[in-house]
Amino acid sequence: MAKMSVGGKKGSSIFSGFRALGLYSNHLPHVVRFHKKHREFYIVTAVGQCFHTYNVKKLGIVAVSNALPADIACLAADRMLVYAAHGKVVSAFAKNTQVVHTYEGHQADVHLLLPFGDHLISVDKENVVIVWDVESEDTYLRISFDNASFEVRAVMHPSTYLNKILFGSSQGSLQLWNIKSNKLLYMFPGWASAVTVLQQTPGVDVVGVGLASGQIIIHNIKFNETLMKFQQDWGPITALSFRTDGHPIMAAGSPVGHIGLWDLEEKKLVGQMRDAHTTAIAGLTFLHAEPLLITNGADNAIRVWIFDVAGGEGRLLRFRMGHSAPPNKIQHYNQSGQHILSAGQDGTLQSFSVVHERFNKSLGHGSLNKKKAKKKSVIHDTAKLPPITTFASESARQSDWDGIVACHQGFLVATTWNYQKSSMGAHKLEPERFNKNRALNVHATAVDVTSCGNFAVIALSSGHIDVYNMQSGLHRGQYGKDRAHSGPVRGVAVDALNQLTVSAGADKLVKIWKFTSKELLHTDNLPASPASTLLHRDSGMLALALDDFTISIFDMETKRTVRRFSGQHYHHQVMCLGLLVLYPDLIKMLIV
C-alpha cells in the first residue's frame, strides 16, 4: 500500500499498509499444489494484487506473495512456480512470494494460463495463444484464432497425450493441437453451447466438458465418442472435478453456489451440496487419492469438505471465511488490541485477530428467531435481520452476560451479542413507546455500552435515547422529558466513570447529561450536523465528524470545543478519522 500524502508532501510511514485481515478468496479459481518434500497439499488463492498460500491440513496461511502492479486476472501453478496474469503480463513466482520470471508479449489482457512441462501456455482476450519457454522467457510458439469462428474459453492438456493441448471455444467446438509441430490434429464439432470448463477425468482419453447450457459431457477424445451426458439445472458449469480415491464421483459447480455430485457408474445425480457458497463456485478440486473436496468463491471463503459417509454429501471439515461484502464498522474489542470486531454489509458480525488467523471467528447473522434460523439455514431464514450499521462492545462482564450491542439498518430493535459464545445474545432491546404504532419509520442510530458492562445506551432516529440493563435487558429510563434531540441522534457515549452521557444530534446540538439522574447539564451548538462521533474515555475527548467535512474535538471536562480540523482537504479528513478510529490515544497529541 502506498504511503498517504497530504498537500503533495510525503506522509508518515504510520500510514503505510502492513497487512490485510480477513481476505481469503476472490472470484478466481484456486490452484492446488503438492509439495513432495513436505508430503502436503497447498491451496493458492488470488486476493487482489497478490495471492495467499494455505496448507490443506489446517488451512493455515503459509505465504503471502509480493504485490503485483495490477489485480491478478488468472492463476496457475506447476511443481516449482506459481504463475499470475495481470493485464498483458504474466509473472512467475518462486517460493510463493517473489517474481523470478516475467513474460511480456501479449497485446491484450491475459485470461487463461496452463503450465505444460517446461512451457507455459497463455491466452489473451484477443484470442492469441502464446507458448513460452519458462526458463528463457522466450516465445516458443504463437497461435492466433479467429474470434468469429473459435473464441478460446478453456484449455487443458489431456493426460498421456505428448505435446497435445485441447482448446474449448465459446462457439462450442473443441480443437486438439500439437504445439510442437504447430498443427491442428482434430476438430470436435461440440454440443451447440459454449465450453466453460475442460477437465481431465481419471480415465485416459476421457475428458469432462462443462457447457454454458448446464450440460456436462463425458467425452472420449480418442474415438470422438460421447460416453455420457448430465444436465444441471442451476445454470452454466463453473467448475468440474473427479474423485480419484476409488469412488466414481464427479462434482460440478454452479453460478448460484450449489454443487452437484454425479455417480459416473450409475450415471445419475447422487447428491446436492446446496449453498456451499453464497456466490458462484469459482473453483473446486478433489485432492488426489483423498476424500477431500476444496472449494472457493467470490464470497471470500475457502472450504474443505470431507466425504466420510458412504454415498453421502460432503461434510464441512474446515474453512476460512471473511466478509463477503464491505464492512460497515470496525472496532477493537477489549484493551489488548489483538481482536478487531467488524460488522459487514453481508449481515455478519466477525472478529479478526491481528496475531494469527486461527483466532478469527464469526458471530454469525442476526435473526429474530435463532432456533428457526438454525433449522432453515441462514440463507433461507425469513426472520434474518438487516446488516449491522453500528455497534458497541465492552469486555468487563463478558463472562457473565452479553457484552456487545448492535443497531441494524432501518430497524428499531437493537440486538445483544455474546463474544465468548460467538453468537447472538439473549436480548432484543426495544422501547415500549412504539409498541402501539410500529409502522412509524423509527430505527436505532447509535449505541454505547458503559465501561462497567452493565448498561447499554441506545439512540433512535426519532431523537429518543434509552438506557437498558445488559444483564436483564430491562428498560432503565430515557434522557429528556419527551426526547433528547429534535432530530435523529447521530452519536451517544458514556464517560469512563458512568457520570456523564454525551449525545450529538442532527439538530446541530451536543448535549451532556448526568448518567444516573438523566438531568441535562450542558448544551453546545455545532456549525453543522454531525455524521458520527467517537469518545476517547481516558482523556474525555469527543471527536465529531461533521457533514461539512470538518472534525471537531470536544472536551467533556471543560465542556467546550478545543480543536477543529478544516475540511478543505478531503484526504485530511480521512487521515484524521483513521487516527480517531484506529489510534484513539493519539487524540491527546492532536490537541497539544
Question: pLDDT (tens digit, 0 to 9) for every residue of the chain, 592 residues total?
Answer: 343 444 445 556 666 666 778 899 999 999 999 988 888 999 999 998 999 999 999 998 899 999 999 999 999 999 899 999 999 999 999 999 999 999 999 999 999 999 999 999 999 999 999 999 999 999 999 999 999 999 999 999 999 999 999 999 999 999 999 999 999 999 999 999 999 999 999 999 999 999 999 999 999 999 999 999 999 999 999 999 999 998 999 999 999 999 999 999 999 999 999 999 999 999 999 999 999 999 999 999 999 999 988 767 889 999 999 999 999 999 999 888 899 999 999 999 999 999 888 889 999 988 887 666 555 555 556 678 999 999 999 999 999 999 999 999 999 999 999 999 999 998 999 988 887 666 578 999 999 999 999 999 999 999 999 999 999 999 999 999 889 999 999 999 999 999 999 999 999 999 999 999 999 999 999 999 999 999 999 999 999 999 999 999 999 999 999 999 987 644 444 434 444 443 444 444 444 3
CA pair distance 261, 298, nearest whole angstrom: 21
Enumerate the H helices of 125-193 as residue ranges: none
CA pair distance 316, 294, nearest whole angstrom: 10
Hey, which bits of 322-368 come out as E strands? 327-333, 339-344, 348-353, 361-365
H or E, element range at 140:
strand 139-144
Do 404 and 460 lie in a common domain? Answer: yes
Do 484 and 576 lie in a common domain? Answer: no
Contacts 24+ apart (CB under 8 A), 414-422: 414/444, 414/447, 414/456, 414/458, 415/366, 415/385, 416/456, 416/470, 416/473, 417/349, 417/363, 417/391, 418/363, 419/333, 419/351, 419/363, 419/393, 419/395, 422/351, 422/361, 422/362, 422/363, 422/364
Report pTM.
Answer: 0.84
State which of 89, 118, 144 marks the end of a domain: 144
In sequence order, the 6+-apart residues with CB closer than 8 A to the CB of 85 are 72, 73, 74, 75, 109, 110, 111, 113, 122
What confidence score (pLDDT) does residue 15 get? 64
What confidence score (pLDDT) does residue 384 get? 86
Amino acid at 454: N
Angle at 63 (CA atoms; ends 99, 322), nearest 5 degrees: 120
Do 463 and 580 lie in a common domain? Answer: no
Which residue has 481476505 as its cell numbers? 23
Is 584 in a helix, a strand, or coil?
Answer: helix
CA pair distance 536, 294, nearest whole angstrom: 45
What confidence score (pLDDT) does residue 586 get? 44
Question: Which strands, in side-by-side order, build the sheet including 301-306?
Answer: 281-286, 292-297, 301-306, 315-321
Q: Which residues pair with 115 in a beta bridge?
A: 120
H or E, element range at 376:
helix 370-376
Instruction: Let me know if residue 251 belongs to a domain.
Output: no
Do 478 and 573 lie in a common domain? Answer: no
- Number of structural domains found in the chain: 3
Looking at the chain, how many residues does it have? 592
Instruction: Note down the domain range covering 77.
Output: 25-144
Instruction: Let me know if residue 356 belongs to a domain.
Output: yes
Instruction: Let me know if residue 488 belongs to a domain.
Output: yes
Do 562 and 442 lie in a common domain? Answer: no
Do 481 and 336 lie in a common domain? Answer: yes
Residue 208 grid coordinates: 469432462
CA pair distance 68, 280, nearest whole angstrom: 25
State which of 115, 144, 173 marks the end of a domain: 144
Do 426 and 563 lie in a common domain? Answer: no
CATH number (domain holding residue 131): 2.130.10.10
Amino acid at 508: K
Considering only the C-alpha atoms of the chain, give the largest distance between any 2 of them, rounded to a whole number of Å: 90
Do 491 and 538 lie in a common domain? Answer: no
State which of 101, 126, 144 marks the end of a domain: 144
Q: What is the DSSP letter of 27?
A: S
CA pair distance 294, 299, nearest whole angstrom: 15
First to last CA, the chain: 30
Q: Which residues pair with 352 in a beta bridge?
A: 340
Instruction: Let me know if residue 291 belongs to a domain.
Output: no
Instruction: Let me know if residue 36 belongs to a domain.
Output: yes
Do 91 and 124 lie in a common domain? Answer: yes
Which residue has 434522557 as its cell numbers? 479
Instruction: Let me know if residue 82 belongs to a domain.
Output: yes
Q: Which residues pair with 268 in a beta bridge?
A: 263
DSSP 268-291: EEEEEETTSSSS-EEEEEEPTTSS
